[in-house]
């Protein structure tokens, strides 16, 4: 074994020349004692060196001596604990490559401050991680820094230069916000806020997860493969393997797998891309919540509290009771010391495991050569054993765990740092170099004196330690205390709310002492004070509370609140009732309230009466008179709202139960009889005056008495004294009346009596009726008043009249009659009435107006009717000439009926008659016409014209000619006459022949014989004049056209002469 020396110069030089290419390849050959490498002449050692001779060009024959020292620093997985913003990083122990970060490579026995100038200037470090020879830090802005050994690119700054002070990591992290960092032996991982993973450093075993195992990377690169598209939430790193947990609870691993460390169930030595954990059938469906990578083994905690392990197990680091490696997850033995425990935090060291339970239990298992299990001995354990909590851990609450290669650290809630295990390189930071198998105080000297540790760095390969710490505890300060409510009353529950600060960000608890008038109230030590509890506070008392804050170590100075004065407590209403509970509309209601006051103040009460839930205006006393209008009627629900008043505050209003106003019987207040001096013919009338407070309609019943005896059958409001038995001269009459409101009756009320006397006869004059005659006058009618009046016997009665149209007096119309034809007196539709007074000189009657009569339509009047012509003939057109007037000015039309000899001529109803039309009239017929004049609704009386007689019509000549038209002197001329008689009378023709305009004597026939001497010679002009005659009249004469005799005629044949003696054409007998 290489002995520990304070002079690490030779060791450092050897490490720098030999360890980097060799130690990462030795993997798990160290186990029992990392500083006890195989013997220098060991075949195993030679094979290991030879195996990697190509990797290290610096390999020398003296390899194996420094190799043991190299192995002593070999175990780390870097995980980081968050810390308060005021914390700074500190470190100690092995520092050959500047991994403590204090700017030197000197061995650090007691804590030293990490250099925070340079790239860390002004930065707030929140996480730390430790690798084999390097360290990593994360600031509050999500930026990453590293320092220490960089010969295999583990610092990620783009170079291979070691650094004893922090340098910035860039590359793929630029612009990213990093949330977690972890460190393996010679590689580093980072997780960004998007759930993506980055890696850099050594990659011979595929620990960078980039698909190769031959290249290192001096800048961060993105890890892809199975992680692509997933959101990663946790990372962990072992010696030569890496682990990731995604948001769905799946575990992925990559890197060296010679011992099954990756957990895929395969025997592949190297896994160069992330691979999912092979859960097998036993753990299928499990969801993982935590992961931890040890040197060559792995741990994972499921959501249901099951802890699984896999990988190397020669020292029992899997905790399953044996020493057999496993390439698949196995369950850690959770019987024994972990039975019934809930594991809350897991951590893995070089070849051991450590867990913290929710109840504070600490358990460990695996390699224990340096007491790193903390159970007081150095024996390995393949099952969990308890960490000794009897010493410095007694009563402590552990908040964080960290495991190095062979040492353990625990951070307590009070900032105390406890450690156990290997201390050869002063991993425990206490300067004595002696390992401890039981927990001891760690890192509390030098610059860490009076510091409170706030965060730890994990590193399963590390032989140095990093922590975050701040100044020693500072007592908290109570800045203010408020009390609510700030205006309390004697029944208030007061609550104190302190505001305190603690520069150490410790959790604070508070103690309270309530005070009354400056003196402590016994037992009042909680955050609340109930003033309703006797003795805690009365009206006028001054209340304060004194508060002390405690951060778990120190008390603050006491702080007393501003005083509050206990104010008045409003009184309370307990009951209110109304009496009586069955009121009527004339009842006076009384409210009876009861209340209380915790301050013993004298109480008064205010009232508000309500009807149907609505305030009754002005009803604010303790009584309510329902007889007052508007206060309450039958069926109304009456309540009263009452508040108690103690002189400064009112109680909450309390409303009584309701009472319902019941029906009140009506009252007959008065009955009067009219007239008061009746006689035996009087109709007595009873007029009752009744009242009903409910406003109900009243009906009345009557009982009439005569001389105090009931008059049978007389139950109406009147009594007719003229009816036999109802009352005679001297009888005393009274009536008793009872009112009823539909449900209740009043008490009976009897009128004052009246005495019947004989009637006094007084002469009277009265118009008993007036009517207008006729009852349906027309606008041209005369109307007359028909009056009936009665008066004293023998008296002469005269009358005065006033005619009215539509109820308005007609000026000047004061006679018994009135002419409606007079303009203004009345038109169709007007209402005509007459007011009449009768008078005897001594007496005048009351005026009486007749019923009105309506002026109705007046039919037209035919004023004249004649026929023209007055002497018609049979071919005449007779015309009726009529004249009519309409009193109402209505348009007039006429209706005609023509008569022949007194009989209606059918179809003739116009204003003319054509006598030439057959059947309408012949000579001697007498023709007349009957007409009526009509307005829109009435007709005149029929009027018949005077008759006219149809006279005879003379005959008429229509044509006259002579033949032949060129006669000779011996020709026989013939006159051809034509005509007619309009009357159809028998006619005949008369002729006169003319020669040269002179009548030929004796020639009066229809022919003229020219051969007869003197009748005509050549050159004579012959004409004929003819008339047609009937019995009494002849037509006007007609002369023919002339003919001229032109030559001597040819002698006529005898037969022609014979025919010339026959009657000429047109002659009649």
Q: Give residue-wise pLDDT tens across range 20-33.
A: 333 333 333 333 33
* Pairing of β 1021-1029 and β 659-660: unpaired
CATH for 572-660, among 3.40.1130, 1.10.1420, 3.90.930, 2.60.40?
2.60.40
CB distance 306 to 342 below 8 Å = no
pLDDT band at 15 (very low <50, low <70, confident <90, very high): very low
pTM over 0.85: no
Could you list the beta-strand ranges (E) of 601-691. Answer: 604-611, 614-615, 623-625, 637-645, 654-655, 659-660, 667-674, 683-691
Residue 1046 has pLDDT above 80, yes or no: yes
Range from 6-20, 247-261, 414-428 carrying the lowest mean pLDDT: 6-20
Q: Which residues of 614-643 are buried (b: 16+ CB within 10 A; e: fewer)?
A: eebeebeeeebebeeeebbbbebebbbbbb
pLDDT by residue (tens digit) across 429-445? 998 999 999 999 999 88
Split at pLDDT 50, 70, 90, the class of 1051 is: low
The model's confidence at residue 644, banded by pLDDT at 50, 70 and 90, is very high
Instruction: Classify 740 in phi/psi space as left (phi over 0), alpha (psi -120 to 50) or beta.
Output: beta
Confidence grade of residue 569 (pLDDT, cut at 50, 70, 90):
confident
How does residue 937 score in pLDDT terms, banded at 50, 70 and 90?
Answer: confident
Segment among 607-616, 689-698, 783-792 with least mean pLDDT = 689-698
Q: Is the dihedral of CA 93, 94, 98, 103 positive or negative?
A: positive
Average of per-residue pLDDT across 951-962: 91
- pLDDT, residue 981, reads 86
CATH number attached to the domain at 667-755: 2.60.40
Model confidence pLDDT, tens digit, residues 501-560: 987 788 999 999 999 999 999 999 999 999 999 999 999 999 999 999 998 888 999 999
Sign of CA dihedral 870, 872, 876, 880: positive
Ranges 616-625, 754-763, 833-842, 850-859: which has the least confidence: 754-763
Q: Rounded CA gap, 653 and 254, in Å?
A: 78
On the question of pLDDT at 984 being above 60, the answer is yes
CATH-assigned architecture of domain 79-210+220-437+456-470: 7 Propeller (2.130)
Q: Which DSSP string do the residues of 880-905 spell out, in sequence order?
A: EEEEEE-TT----EEEEEEEETTEEP
pLDDT at 651: 92
- pLDDT tens across 293-326, in order? 999 999 999 999 999 999 999 999 999 999 999 9
- Give the model's confidence band at 38: pLDDT under 50 very low, under 70 low, under 90 confident, else very high: very low
In this model, does residue 477 exceed pLDDT 50? yes
86 falls in which pLDDT band (50, 70, 90)? low
Q: What would the mean pLDDT of 141-164 be, rounded to a whole number?
A: 97
3-state SS, residue 873: strand
pLDDT digits (tens, 9 = 90+) for 199-232: 999 999 999 999 999 889 999 999 999 999 999 9
Please give the pLDDT value at position 603.
Answer: 94
Q: Which fold has domain 956-1059?
A: Immunoglobulin-like (2.60.40)
Confidence of residue 260 (pLDDT cuts 50, 70, 90): very high
Give the mean pLDDT of the chain.
88
Structure token digits, residue 369: 């050569």
Is the pLDDT score of 49 beyond 60? no
pLDDT tens figures, 706-737: 999 999 999 999 999 999 999 999 999 999 99
- Yes or no: say if 105 and 149 are a contact pair by the CB < 8 Å rule: no
pLDDT band at 835 (very low <50, low <70, confident <90, very high): very high
Same fold, 477-565 and 861-949: yes
Tens-digit pLDDT profile for residues 646-682: 998 999 999 999 999 998 889 999 999 999 999 999 9
pLDDT in tens, 843-864: 999 999 999 999 998 889 999 9
Q: Check if the beta carbon of residue 504 is closer than 8 Å to that of residue 452.
A: yes
Query: Domain-by-domain residue ranges, the chain?
Result: 9-71, 79-210+220-437+456-470, 477-565, 572-660, 667-755, 766-854, 861-949, 956-1059
What is the DSSP secondary structure assignment for residue 846, as one 8-state letter? P
Residue 257 has, within 13 A of its CA and on its CB side, a CA count of: 25
Distance CA 358, CA 343 (A): 6
> What CATH number matches the domain at 861-949, 3.40.50.12280, 3.40.50.800, 2.60.40.10, 2.60.120.40?
2.60.40.10
Residue 802 in tokens: 């006033």
Q: Are 867 and 877 in contact (CB under 8 A)?
A: no
The CATH code belonging to domain 766-854 is 2.60.40
In the beta sheet, which residues pair with residue 300? 291, 308
Q: How confident is the model at residue 60 (pLDDT cuts 50, 70, 90)?
A: very low
**pLDDT band for position 1048 (50/70/90)?**
low
Residues 17 and 60: their CA atoms lie apart, in Å, by: 9
Chain centroid to CA 7:
86
Residue 689: what pLDDT? Answer: 96
Q: Which CATH superfamily is domain 477-565 in?
A: Immunoglobulins (2.60.40.10)
- pLDDT reading at 79 higher than 80: no
**DSSP secondary structure letter of residue 951:** B
CB neighbours of 83 closer than 8 A, spacing ≥ 6? 125, 126, 127, 454, 455, 468
């Amino acid at each position: 074994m290489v002995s520990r020396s304070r002079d690490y110069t030779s060791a450092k030089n050897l490490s720098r020349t030999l360890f980097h290419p060799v130690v990462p390849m030795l993997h798990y050959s160290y186990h029992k004692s990392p500083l006890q490498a195989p013997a220098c002449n060991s075949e195993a050692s030679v094979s290991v060196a030879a195996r990697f001779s190509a990797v290290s060009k610096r390999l020398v024959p003296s390899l194996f001596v420094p190799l043991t020292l190299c192995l002593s620093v070999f175990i780390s997985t870097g995980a980081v604990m968050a810390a308060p913003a005021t914390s700074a990083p500190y470190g100690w122990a092995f520092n050959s490559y500047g991994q403590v970060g204090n700017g030197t490579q000197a061995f650090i026995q007691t804590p030293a401050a990490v250099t925070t100038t340079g790239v860390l200037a002004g930065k707030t470090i929140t996480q730390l991680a430790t690798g084999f020879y390097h360290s990593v830090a994360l600031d509050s802005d999500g930026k990453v820094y590293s320092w220490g050994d960089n010969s295999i690119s583990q610092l990620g700054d783009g170079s291979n230069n070691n650094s004893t002070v922090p340098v910035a990591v860039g590359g793929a992290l630029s612009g990213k916000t990093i949330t977690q960092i972890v460190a393996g032996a010679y590689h580093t991982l980072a997780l960004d806020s998007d759930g993506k993973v980055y890696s850099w450093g050594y990659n011979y075993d595929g620990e960078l997860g980039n698909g190769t195992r031959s290249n290192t990377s001096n800048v961060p690169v993105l890890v892809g493969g199975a992680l692509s598209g997933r959101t990663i939430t946790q990372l962990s790193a072992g010696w030569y393997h890496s682990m990731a947990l995604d948001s769905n609870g799946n575990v992925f691993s990559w890197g060296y797998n010679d011992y099954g460390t990756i957990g895929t169930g395969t025997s592949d030595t190297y896994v160069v891309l992330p691979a999912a954990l092979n859960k097998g059938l036993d753990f299928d469906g499990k969801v993982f919540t935590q992961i931890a990578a040890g040197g060559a083994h792995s741990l994972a905690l499921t959501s249901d509290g099951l802890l699984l392990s896999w990988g190397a197990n020669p020292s029992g680091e899997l905790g399953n009771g044996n020493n057999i490696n496993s390439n698949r997850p196995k369950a850690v033995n959770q019987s024994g010391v972990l039975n019934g425990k809930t594991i809350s935090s897991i951590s893995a060291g070089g070849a051991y495991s450590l867990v913290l339970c929710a109840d504070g239990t600490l358990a460990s298992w695996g390699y224990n050569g340096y007491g790193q299990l903390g159970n007081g001995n150095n024996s390995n354990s393949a099952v969990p054993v308890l960490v000794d909590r009897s010493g410095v851990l007694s009563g402590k609450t552990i908040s964080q765990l960290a495991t190095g290669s062979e040492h353990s650290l625990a951070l307590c809630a009070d900032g105390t740092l406890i450690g156990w295990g290997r201390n050869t390189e002063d991993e425990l930071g206490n300067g004595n170099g002696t390992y401890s198998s039981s927990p001891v105080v760690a890192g509390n000297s030098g610059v860490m004196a009076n510091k409170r540790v706030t965060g730890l760095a994990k590193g399963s390969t590390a032989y140095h330690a990093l922590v975050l710490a701040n100044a020693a505890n500072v007592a908290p300060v109570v800045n203010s205390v408020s009390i609510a409510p700030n205006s309390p009353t004697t029944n208030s529950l007061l609550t104190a709310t302190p505001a305190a600060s603690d520069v150490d960000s410790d959790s604070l608890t508070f103690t309270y002492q309530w005070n009354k008038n400056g003196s402590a109230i016994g037992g009042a030590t909680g955050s609340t004070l109930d003033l309703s509890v006797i003795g805690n506070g009365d009206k006028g008392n001054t209340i304060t509370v004194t508060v002390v804050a405690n951060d778990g170590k120190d008390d603050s100075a006491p702080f007393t609140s501003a005083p509050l004065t206990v104010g008045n407590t409003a009184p309370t209403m307990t009951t209110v009732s109304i009496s009586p509970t069955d009121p009527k509309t004339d009842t006076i209601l009384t409210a009876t309230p009861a209340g209380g006051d915790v301050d013993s103040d004298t109480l008064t009460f205010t009232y508000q009466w309500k009807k149907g839930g609505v305030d009754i205006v002005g009803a604010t006393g303790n009584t309510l008179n329902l007889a007052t209008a508007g206060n309450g009627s039958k069926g109304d629900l009456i309540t009263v709202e009452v508040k108690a008043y103690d002189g400064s505050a009112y109680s909450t209003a309390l409303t009584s139960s309701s009472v319902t106003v019941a029906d009140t019987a009506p009252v007959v207040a008065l009955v009067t009889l009219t007239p008061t001096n009746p006689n035996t013919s009087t109709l007595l009338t009873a007029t009752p005056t009744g009242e009903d407070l409910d406003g109900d309609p009243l009906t009345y019943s009557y009982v009439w008495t005569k001389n105090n005896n009931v008059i049978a059958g007389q139950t109406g409001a009147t009594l007719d004294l003229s009816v036999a038995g109802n009352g005679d001269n001297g009888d005393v009459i009274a009536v008793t009346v009872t009112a009823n409101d539909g449900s209740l009756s009043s008490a009976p009320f009897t009128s004052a009596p009246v005495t019947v006397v004989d009637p006094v006869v007084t002469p009277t004059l009265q118009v008993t009726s007036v009517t207008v005659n006729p009852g349906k006058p027309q606008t041209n009618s005369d109307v007359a008043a028909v009056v009936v009046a009665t008066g004293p016997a023998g008296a002469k009665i005269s009358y005065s009249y006033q005619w009215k149209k539509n109820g308005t007096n007609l000026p000047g119309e004061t006679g018994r009659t009135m002419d409606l034809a007079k303009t203004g007196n009345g038109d169709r539709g007007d209402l005509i009435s007459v007011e009449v007074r009768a008078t005897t000189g001594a007496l005048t009657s009351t005026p009486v107006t007749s019923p009105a009569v309506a002026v109705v339509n007046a039919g037209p009047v035919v004023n004249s009717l004649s026929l023209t012509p007055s002497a018609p003939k049979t071919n005449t057109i007779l015309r009726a000439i009529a004249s009519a007037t309409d009193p109402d000015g209505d348009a007039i039309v006429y209706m005609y009926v023509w008569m022949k000899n007194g009989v209606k001529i059918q179809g003739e109803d116009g204003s003319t008659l054509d006598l030439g039309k057959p059947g309408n009239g012949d000579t001697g017929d007498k023709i007349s016409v009957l007409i009526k004049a009509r307005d829109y609704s009435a007709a005149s009386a029929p009027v018949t014209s005077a008759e006219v007689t149809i006279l005879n019509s003379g005959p008429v000549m229509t044509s006259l000619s002579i033949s032949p038209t060129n006669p000779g002197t011996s020709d026989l001329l013939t006159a051809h006459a034509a005509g007619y008689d309009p009357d159809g009378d028998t006619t005949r023709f008369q002729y006169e022949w003319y020669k040269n305009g002179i009548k030929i004597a004796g020639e009066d026939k229809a022919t003229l014989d020219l051969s007869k001497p003197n009748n005509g010679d050549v050159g004579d002009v012959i004409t004929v004049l003819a008339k047609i005659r009937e019995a009494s009249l002849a037509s006007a004469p007609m002369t023919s056209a002339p003919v001229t005799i032109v030559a001597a005629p040819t002698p006529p044949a005898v037969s022609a002469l014979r025919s010339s003696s026959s009657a000429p054409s047109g002659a009649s007998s």
